Structures are given as structure tokens and as C-alpha cells.
Structure 1
Amino acid sequence: MGQGNVQDLDTSLPEHSEGIRVDRALLAATTPYVEQSSATSWRHVGTAFLLMITTLTAAGGIAWWPLRLAFSVLGALLMVRVFITFHDYLHGGILKESRAAHWFFHTYGAFALTPTRSWLASHNYHHGHVGQISDAGVGAFPLLTTEVWQSSTRWQRFAYRAQRHPLVVLLSYPIVFGLNITLLPLLRAPAKHSDSLVALICHSSCLRMNRVMQWFTGNIGYHHIHHLNVRIPFYRLPEVMAAIPELQSPLITTLAPRDIADCFRYALWDEEKQRMVTYREARASS
């Protein structure tokens, strides 16, 4: 959905419609959907890891390249689902009281270059500051207003554009996970971040997707619900969306090439227009 199609907000309208639950009332409405069955969670975790290991083993052992390529792509998709189970565990959304899950996911985090202590600090910052205007790229990419952009120095503008450049986003795994979450915390506090050493040695909008991609991504498209209540397991997010009317009208984006391109083009927040704008629009309005 192009940002240019979003009209300026009518400030004469009430902030919320009568009878619509917001804030704590809306959060309370999601409480019944937190984890209720550890057996169900283990089934999702076990299936994801078993499929991933089997698929990647096949990709490494099959000589015929077309089949190896197919298993490699499938394995990559399964790695996404596996990471979602790790993500939910660290949020306390699944298997919170399980000691077995503690050691299982902490071991996985080391192999996945995602040491739990560093990742939690970064990701919790992201949850606590999502949507806020900031040039800090902790747990997310920075976001500035057009006014701040226009008053920034050339170096500050260069640094901002560099952090939001498509190549940086594509290389975000080695940059964000390998450097920011793993190496730098280890160098600052070796004893506190010993799990980072193990990892180094071992190597609120809605995103519309089809059902196959929803499964592989662990329903990550329902991110507006996840940010509302991180204790809801990933496999219950569609259930929450269907049950709570207030959550059924979020801003929608997709994985269509045009929407992906728009995510890179619209890089600044215009407080007057109340929408994202391009660098060109920001220059024109200065």
C-alpha cells in the first residue's frame, strides 16, 4: 500500500469510536489467548525443528543440484518458523516454565548467532520503543521526522540513509545479529555475555500473506497483535484476529514488489501529513 495514497487525517473526528476497546481494555481482551497447553507448544516446536533438520540434511547430502536447491529453499523457510518458536519462548509466550525448553532454546540461540541475553535486551527495547521517532537503531531501523531530517547535518543524513539502505537491510543478519547482538556485547562485557562467545564459535502493521507463507513465518504478519500482547503464542494469533473486532482493521502491507519498494522509498515521518514520505518530498517541503 503506497504511502502517497494515505490522506491527511481529519482532526475534527473523535480519536476513538464509541464502544471501541483501547489500551488496557483491549489488552485484557487478549488475555484468554495466552498459552494454555504446553503439549501444543511442544508439538509446534518439535515439528518445526524436525522438519528443518531433515530438510537441511537432505540439502547437504543430495548430489543432484535441482533437488538440492529445492531442499535448500525449503530449509530456509523452515529456519524462519524455527526462529519464531525461539522468539516466542524468549517472550514467555510458549513453554515459559519448562527447564527443558530453557536449555533447548539457549543452545539453539548460540548456534543461530542469537545469544539470548543480548537479543532480549535489543528486542525488548524494540517492543518498548516501536513507532517512536528516534535515530537509534536498537532492535529496529531508525526513524526520523521530516523536521529533524531537514535540520540534520550532511553526515547525520548520510548515516541515516545508510542504515535504511536496501543493502544494509539485506545484510542485516550478519550486521545486526553477528555484530550488534553477538560480538559487541561480548567485547563490552565478556563475563556477562559468555553466551555470545558460544554463538561466535558455533558460527505494528499487518503483513498479508497466503496460508503457506503464514505457516512458514509463524504468523508473523499478525505483528500488530504480537506487539499488543507478546504472551500470545504465534499459533494463536489468527484466532485472536478473528475474535476481537478492534484488531481486524490494521494498516495492511504485502510482500508484493511494489509494497517492498515503498518500504524503502518512504523513509521519513511527516508530522503534518501524518504519513511516511520520501526524501524527495521532504526536500520539496523544506
Structure 2
Amino acid sequence: MNQTKQLRKMIAPFERNDKTASVRQLLNTIPPFILLWIAAYASLQVSYALTLLLSALAAGFLIRSFIIFHDCCHGSFFRSRKANDALGTLLGILTLFPYEQWKHSHNIHHAGSGNLERRGTGDMWLLTVKEYKEASAWTKLRYRIYRNPFVLFVVGPIALILITYRFNEKGARLKERRNTWLTNAGIAVLYSLLIWAIGWQSFLLVQLPVFWISGAAGIWLFYVQHQFEDSYFEHEEEWDYVKAAVEGSSFYKLPAWLQWLTGNIGYHHVHHLSPRVPNYHLQQAHEAAPPLEHATTITLLTSLKSLRFNLWDDERRQFVTFREGIRRAAEPPLRSTGRPA
């Protein structure tokens, strides 16, 4: 409890949004995205290689737009709730994410991140070694397909963003359902206008790489910030919010330009500790709280190891590969001392 209070006290000064900083971020994110998209279209007359390069840059600014959307979902971008909701809905049309639906599932993710009894909403599908061992052949096959990198990062953006998020969850509130309908209508109008203006072929040649690159990168960022070897997952009775934030969310140390494009989301441990901290204060909050130096730090190179981790070893409290998980499932269970029974 003392550690919790201490960390909260250190982080508290950074939970206040700055209207000037928020507006500045909007201005250095949305206009550049629009200009890069237009430049990518214009480059079709020069070289499609140049189009892909410009589309990749536009995708980076779309990711940055999503981080603003993400802050709006937490009510941290503007002081006004109405302003956050209005901007979040508009950015949801741009990024293809229904604001109310995503806000609901993402808040559930925050409330139970790292809690083995609260998996299933707003997070990656995760099985423990024991669960995988006891699963049916059909479930094991589906899980292996889901965890395949090609499915996660190539098929994933299409399945999740283009299809899943176009529909409401069963039992969704009326406000959430209406927002999804509004988002879908907004996307239809925006895309129809662009297709009318430049033709469907040109639209697809520009928008598809923008969509896929930003979608795959977004899924990767979410994946790698919780799927590292010594992450944190506990059962309800042992789960702790602060430990889940600091130990179960990585500090993704990126090059300065990537950190800027991704809106400091690499400071994910700070974000989970306090979602009220706007993205432009995350680095300052991290540096002001010495205990956060102990958060797991990963880099672009070391983060690639996460592709190997597929199962959570509940006894040893670490991620393992399918091969390691199958081998460990056949071993005698561990006592509390860590030795075979």
C-alpha cells in the first residue's frame, strides 16, 4: 500500500492535461497525415515505390492519431468530457475504430490487465500451459492459428479492424451501438467522397498500405507491451493493480522519432499505472518516479523475442514457446520451492 501511495503521489502532477499541448499535438498530427495522404496520391503519377514510402509515413501519423483517440477514451486529452467524446468519435472515423465500443473494451482491459480470471475482453487470447494441455484438439488448432505471426499481423488488421469493429458486441448499450453506427456511416461517407474524387483504383493503392501498415504496427505495439518473457499474470486472489502495471507492461524503448510517432505509448507501464496521464506527459512521469526504473525495458531488437512466446507458464510465472509449454506440461508440478514434486 505504501508503494502504491508513493507511486500515485509521484505520478499525480502529470495527470493534468495541457490544452495548449493537446492542440499543438493535433496540429502536428492531423494536417501532416492529410498532406502525406495527398502526396501519396500525387506520387502515383511518378512511382508506386514513392507512393508506398509516403503511405508508410502517413501510416505513422495515423498511429499517432490513434494515440490521441486512445487518450480521449481515457478522458485525458481534454478536460471536457464532451470534447474528448467528440474528438474521439471523429478520430474513430479516421482510424476505423468505433469510439464508445473501443473505450468500453479497453477500460475492461485496464481494470483487469494481468488478471488470469479477467481475460477475454480488450486483450490478446492467452492460454496457460495447463489450459493448453487440457484443451480440445480443435481449441489447440484455433489457438495456434491465432498466435501465428502471419495471422496476427497480416490477417489481424483486416479481421479485427475492417470486420469485427464494424459490428456491436452482444448486449452493447444503446449509446455504444449508436456510436458504432455513426462511425460506420462516417467511414462510408469519407471513403465514398475520396473514391468519387480520385477513383477507386487510386484510393485503394494509397489507402490499403496506409491501413495495413498502421493496423499491423498498432497490433504489434499492443502485443509486445504485455507479451514479454517475465510479464505479470496472477490469479484473482494474488493479483495486484500496481504490480500488473509496472511488471506486466513493458517500457518499450524506441528511437526518438518512433517514440514521437507512437505518442510515447512505449511508456506503457506509466499508462497502465495511471491512464489519466496524457501521452505527452508519459516520459516526464516515468522520469519523475524512480521506482518505475525497474519496469521491464525492451528494445526493437529484444522485442522480436516476443514472437516466440505463446503460452503462460503459471507455475514459473513466465511466457514460454509452444514446445517448452508442451514439455513442461508433461513434467511433475512444482512445489512452492520451485522443485519438482
Please, what TM-score do these two structures have when normalized by structure 2? 0.71
1:194 corresponds to which of 161, 178, 182 = 178
Rounded to whole Å, the distance in 2 between the matches of 1:192 and 1:182 is 12
Equivalent residues in 2 for 1:125-144, closer than 5 Å:
125-133=108-116, 136-144=119-127
Equivalent residues in 2 for 1:1-286, closer than 5 Å:
22-62=3-43, 63-65=45-47, 66-97=49-80, 99-133=82-116, 136-170=119-153, 171-185=155-169, 192-201=176-185, 202-203=187-188, 204-256=249-301, 259-260=303-304, 262-285=305-328, 286=330
Rounded to whole Å, the distance in 1 between the matches of 2:281 and 2:3 is 21
1:179 Cα deviation (Å)? 3.1
Q: Deviations over 1:203-248 (max 9, x none)?
A: 5111121101000000111001100000101111111111110111
In structure 2, the CA distance between the partners of 1:21 and 1:207, relative to structure 1 (3 Å rule), is farther
1:114 Cα deviation (Å)? 1.0
Higher mean C-alpha deviation, range 170-179 or range 212-221: 170-179
Rounded to whole Å, the distance in 2 between the matches of 1:116 and 1:156 is 31
Contact 1:266 1:279 in 2 (8 A): yes
**SS of 1:269 mapped into structure 2:** strand
1:192 Cα deviation (Å)? 4.8
Rounded to whole Å, the distance in 2 between the matches of 1:246 and 1:197 is 44
Letter in 2 for 1:225: V
Contact 1:183 1:200 in 2 (8 A): no
Letter in 1 for 2:326: R
Structure 2's unaligned 5+ residue stretches are 189-248, 331-341
Structure 1's unaligned 5+ residue stretches are 1-19
1:124 Cα deviation (Å)? 1.0
Contact 1:135 1:144 in 2 (8 A): no
In structure 2, the CA distance between the partners of 1:159 and 1:24, relative to structure 1 (3 Å rule), is farther
Contact 2:29 2:64 in 1 (8 A): yes
Higher mean C-alpha deviation, range 171-180 or range 54-63: 171-180
1:255 Cα deviation (Å)? 2.4
1:147 Cα deviation (Å)? 1.6
Higher mean C-alpha deviation, range 184-193 or range 197-206: 184-193
Matched residue, 1:4: none
Higher mean C-alpha deviation, range 228-237 or range 188-197: 188-197
**SS of 1:162 mapped into structure 2:** helix
1:150 Cα deviation (Å)? 1.4
Contact 2:17 2:79 in 1 (8 A): no
Matched residue, 1:9: none
1:197 Cα deviation (Å)? 2.3
How many pairs does the alignment contain? Answer: 265
In structure 2, the CA distance between the partners of 1:184 and 1:104, relative to structure 1 (3 Å rule), is closer
Higher mean C-alpha deviation, range 70-79 or range 211-220: 70-79
1:108 Cα deviation (Å)? 2.2
1:274 Cα deviation (Å)? 2.0
1:118 Cα deviation (Å)? 0.7
The CA RMSD measured in Å over matched residues stands at 2.4
Rounded to whole Å, the distance in 2 between the matches of 1:263 and 1:23 is 29
Q: Deviations over 1:103-123 (max 9, x none)?
A: 233122134221111111111
In structure 2, the CA distance between the partners of 1:147 and 1:192, relative to structure 1 (3 Å rule), is closer
Rounded to whole Å, the distance in 1 between the matches of 2:120 and 2:165 is 12
Please, what TM-score do these two structures have when normalized by structure 1? 0.84
1:259 Cα deviation (Å)? 3.1
Higher helix share: 2
Moved over 6 A (4+): 186-191
Rounded to whole Å, the distance in 1 between the matches of 2:73 and 2:102 is 9
In structure 2, the CA distance between the partners of 1:107 and 1:186, relative to structure 1 (3 Å rule), is farther
Rounded to whole Å, the distance in 2 between the matches of 1:118 and 1:163 is 22
Rounded to whole Å, the distance in 1 between the matches of 2:271 and 2:93 is 24
Contact 1:186 1:193 in 2 (8 A): no
Rounded to whole Å, the distance in 1 between the matches of 2:283 and 2:67 is 15
1:101 Cα deviation (Å)? 4.8
